[in-house]
Structure 1
Amino acid sequence: MILDIKNISCGYGSRTIVNNISLTVKSGEILCILGPNGAGKTTLFKTILGFLKLKTGEILIDNENISNWDRKRLARAIGYVPQAHTTPFPFTVEDVVVMGRTSHLGTMGSPSHMDIEIARKNIKMLGINYLKNKIYTEISGGERQMVLIARALT
């Protein structure tokens, strides 16, 4: 998969925060975006995720413009790990990771055996199998981040 960002500008209302950014990320590559607070890193991510409307430019996945993709298709193509995540419910770690399969379920669907196996595979791959049955709200911040990475991969 290839993510191409071509000359995009984005922001809030009439205020442009990120102006004329281009980048390409290929499958298997890791990209790190660094900058001071208020530089537009989160604004850029919110735009890529479709939470903010693009002002100019285009975002392509495998040479296809994503501007008309529905939420479900976008969620299947892009995984996201937020800076912070708290849930008011005491889900197990495995349950939180399985939630990464939501875009693959029907409206009233529930996870299949295959969905659960995909989640377990990612938990194991990240070396957090020891957390599988723990309550998400009772683990450390670093452990939560690893769980959210497993959820994004799932």
Structure 2
Amino acid sequence: MSNALINAVRLDIGYAQKRVAQQLDISLHAGRIVALLGPNGTGKTTLFKTLLGFLPPLSGKVYVQGRRLHEWPLRELAHCLAYVPQAQDSSLSLNVQDLVLLGRTAHVPLFSSPSAQDRSLALQSLEALGIKHLAAHAYDQLSGGEKQLVLIARALAQSPAALIMDEPTASLDFGNQIKVLKHMRRLADAGMGILFCTHQPEHALRIADEVSLFKDGAIQAHGAPQQILSPERIAWLYDLEPADLDVGHQKTPPND
């Protein structure tokens, strides 16, 4: 689709010696949130890295705003796409504000320093996620959940048209999960397109406009969350029995 922010057509992904998935058709539009669910090892991260240009497709095409991905200069592409990876242990010794400020790199002229506006946008991104108080802290001294929030703030500071997020709430406590989900919905309502993967169907039901189920090297189902995320489909996706999901009807233990 020419009006899609991201459009992948008959995409095969993987590495030179291993094809992970094939014939994938994926599109992301402005103002929409697409959730990708699938078991570990399916290739969700590989897919995201291919959509971002970090890995070449084995076959098929990826378009960004109607233009072939490989035709985009990197600095221009960074105006369109931002990526939030899973937080990992890092030896980065930057403080939080400086790390988030890296998200402004594509907007800063070559051989120039970030402007006051760039620094203000970095702080605004931290404030939006409730972590402005961490601005002067060393990134490598933060908890896993705090690191994840900082990586999200860095992507927001980039001011992209589309945001790709690899399990953005995986290392967060319940309260911060809800805050991030609400912020993702606000960003989409303001016009940003968001593609994210998760192992929590309730997160997709809460904020996604579309859901894709990714298993056995293919997109097995796609549509509205309420239609796609039935107990039977979720059980099939994760190799469970539907009864395993029926936790709401378990008996309450008797009082002592």
Fold shared, TM-score > 0.5 on shorter chain = yes
Deviates more, 1:111-120 or 1:80-89: 80-89
Which of these residues, 73, 76, 79, is aligned with residue 76 of structure 1? 79
Look up the equivalent residue of 1:134 and give its one-letter code. Answer: H
**1:18 aligns to 2:10 (yes or no):** no
**1:40 aligns to 2:43 (yes or no):** yes
Q: Decide which structure has the larger Cα Rg and report it.
A: 2
CA distance in structure 1 between the partners assigned to 2:35 and 2:87 by the alignment: 18
Structure 1 35/14 Cα, relative in aligned 2: closer, same or farther at 3 Å? Answer: same
Across the aligned residues of Structure 1 and Structure 2, the Cα RMSD in angstroms comes to 1.8
Equivalent pair of 1:18/1:43 in contact (CA under 8 Å): no
Unaligned stretches of 5+ residues in structure 1? none
Look up the equivalent residue of 1:57 and give its one-letter code. Answer: G
Look up the equivalent residue of 2:53 and give its one-letter code. Answer: G
SS at match of 1:54: coil
CA distance in structure 1 between the partners assigned to 2:74 and 2:88 by the alignment: 20
CA distance in structure 1 between the partners assigned to 2:38 and 2:98 by the alignment: 34
CA distance in structure 2 between the partners assigned to 1:51 and 1:3 by the alignment: 15
Percent identity of the aligned residues? 38
Which structure has more RCO (C-alpha within 8 Å, separation ≥ 6)? 2
CA distance in structure 1 between the partners assigned to 2:125 and 2:142 by the alignment: 18
Structure 1 70/86 Cα, relative in aligned 2: closer, same or farther at 3 Å? Answer: farther
Deviates more, 1:6-15 or 1:44-53: 6-15
Look up the equivalent residue of 1:126 and give its one-letter code. Answer: L
Which of these residues, 46, 53, 56, is aligned with residue 56 of structure 2? 53
Look up the equivalent residue of 1:36 and give its one-letter code. Answer: P
Q: Which residue of 2 aligns with 1:9?
A: 12
**1:94 aligns to 2:97 (yes or no):** yes
CA distance in structure 2 between the partners assigned to 1:85 and 1:72 by the alignment: 25
Moved over 3 A (4+): none
* CA deviation profile, 1:35-67 (whole Å, cap 9, x unmatched): 222211111111111111112222122222222
Which of these residues, 85, 109, 116, is aligned with residue 113 of structure 1? 116
